[in-house]
Each structure stands twice: as C-alpha cells, then as structure tokens.
Structure 1
Amino acid sequence: MCYGIQHTARRFLGRRFRRRIHQAQSFPRTARRTHGTSRTHPAEYTGGGIRSALELGPNIGLNLIALQRLVPGLKATAVEINAKAAEECAKIPDVTVVQDAFLNYKSEETFDLTFTFGVLIIQHPDTLPQMYDLLYKHSNRYILMSEYYNPTPTHVNYRGTQDKMFKRDFAGEFMDRFPDVQLVDYGFFYHRDSIFPADDFNWFLMEKR
C-alpha cells in the first residue's frame, strides 16, 4: 500500500481534482457526479480548499507526505496504534500523531478530509459502524476510502487465516449509514498498471452535502 502511494504522489492531488471541485461547485447538486477510471488516483480529488486531514492508520505516514507535497501547508492528524510507526510518523512536519487504537480517539476537531487506505479491510466487522462514525464525525466535507471491494461481505485468505482480512462495500455501507453523504467519484488501482502499479484497491471519495 505504501509502495503505491509513493509512486502515485503526483496523482494524489493533481489538477484533475481541482477541475472536479470547480465543476462540483458550478453545477447543480443533482448533477455532481462523474465516473472514476483505473488511471485516476483518489487524492487527485482532495486539493481544492483542503487544508487539514485526518488519517486513520497512517503507518509511518507516506500518504501524509504525499498530501503535504502537493498541498503545501496541509496540517494533519494521524491515529496509529503501532508505537514504532507512530514515532516515525511524528517526525513529519505539521502532523500530530495520536498513538492509540482508533476507537480510543477522542476529539471534537474536524478536518476537510478524513481517510483510510487499507485499514477498514483489517478491522473486525463488528467495529465497522464505530469506524464509520469516526470518519463521519471528524470530517467537515470529504471522506475517502481506499479498500478492497466486494458487493457482499467476504473473507480474504490472509497468511493462512480466514478471519483477519475482509472485503465488502465499505463506501456503500457508509452512505447508507449517513444519508447526507454522496459519492463524488471512484476508481481502481491495478497491480498491472505500467506506470503506477499498486495493490488491487477500489477508492471512493464522498462528500457531506
């Protein structure tokens, strides 16, 4: 996952998002929807007006580094349970790291963007409603999920186990839970992409309306 972010940093917040934001602000809300492509990175859609972000599960912070390179001055908060990873992530300027479990994160702060990248897939299904609540509560506009997708919940064989990784329609469940959230765009990472290979993840960008 970090490999993919490193090699897609310029897509992570590119010009196309700025065009998309302009379109979203210019057209009626009922028309605010476009379709993603396999060559589009989700973070292309988080540049216009984004000044703060919250990442759940940043590891050492490569996603946040990519964001900051393309949005100078971005301030971020990261919640990371792994102590060594949190220590490395805390070295990134303008990033506040909370070293704790996600569900222990207590704050009233909101951010322009909240996001996960390969994190929801390793959460026990029973905790997903609370994870969704966190992403929603702390976002004042955008929510981004980049996770394995399946139309129905299913287990993924992970290192010989069947109960450690899951695929499902995370974004669909999120929008069902919060009716004021709408889909802005979506796309797919493909491991055979000749320019920016990454894991086979689907990404979904949503917006509070």
Structure 2
Amino acid sequence: MSRFILLFAICVNLIVSVAFGYGCNHRDYGHGAHVCVCSEKLHCGDLNLKISTESGVITSYSTNKQGARFMHREYRFLKELPPSQHFNVTVEVNHGSKQQAIVGFGGAFTDAAGINIAKLPVNLQKQLITDYYGNNGIEYRLGRIPIGGSDFSTRAYSYDDHAEGDESFSKFALQPEDKHYKLPYLKMASEVSSHPVCIEH
C-alpha cells in the first residue's frame, strides 16, 4: 500500500526512516505562521508523491512550522524485535466487520478559489491544479461545486434569479462566475487526472 494512509493506531514494532521534503520558499507572517510561496521564478517543483512501497511499509508526508514541506517518512514493521524490546502485544483485525467506505478525497471549486487561482500566471494555475489532481501530486478524485452563489462568492445569485413563476426553468442560465471561476479549473482537474473526477453538489 502506498501514498496517503490515514492511520490512527499505536504501532509498537516499527522502525522509521525519514527523507527531508521538498524545498520551501518561506514567507513569514509572524507569530509562527508562514507559507511556502511558489512563483514563476521560485518554482516549488513537482511534488512527485506517488511512491510505491513494498509490503509491510507505510508511507507518510508531513509539513510543519519548522520548515519541512512534504517530508517523507517510511514506517517498517519488523518481523522480530531486538531481545531488549520483547513484550507481548495482541492485535485482532476483524475483516468481516466493515463500516463506512471511503469514497475519496478532494477539494471545492468555489468562486473564492477560482478568483484566487485566476490571479496566478497560467502555468502556475496548471501547476497548482496538478499538485492536487495530477499523477505526481496528491491525486484528489473528488470535487465539490456549489450550485449558484455560496458564502465563498462575492455576491448572492442563483441560476434563475429574475424569472418569477418560471416553473419550467426556461430562463435557467449559468452565471459569469461559473464560466470564469468554476468550470475552467474543474475541466483542468479532469485533464490532469488519470482518474475520473467525481463532482458533488
């Protein structure tokens, strides 16, 4: 198993190997808050997080205030513990008991996201979407898109605002925000992803 695994467990017989993450161009906002800034001159590079691992190895990535950006860690389960660390541990896994299924992970294609992405040069727009949805990124497979305006819009709107009594929706129409800030980046995500991008409304 590889890539992103959410693991909430106490692992007792593991060894950890660490590789320092990708470079970060820091911008400090004070109070311990900083961001990594990517630009045409200070490109952050491909994340290239798609790493296959052998059986018995868990891969994780972390970013922190100390400057690590997607720091790569591998956790290996040992077949035998050193004699000094012997103790009894019993772990039971019930494969027959299944709970909720994870459909996938993704992001939201809101007006606010589109407005900010549109301020970037075109090549950085594609790089940003690729970092989320591309094969060398974190491979998101879901996207949420609001129907009409939302709290992430600069104005309130629907798709049939000025058609009172229009029960047949004959005046239904997409708005400029859809054409400029939502659909272009949704299309870009679909183009860079090797998986179908599932859209939730």
Q: TM-score, normalization: structure 2?
A: 0.31
Structure 1 or 2: more helix by fraction:
1
Higher strand proportion: 1
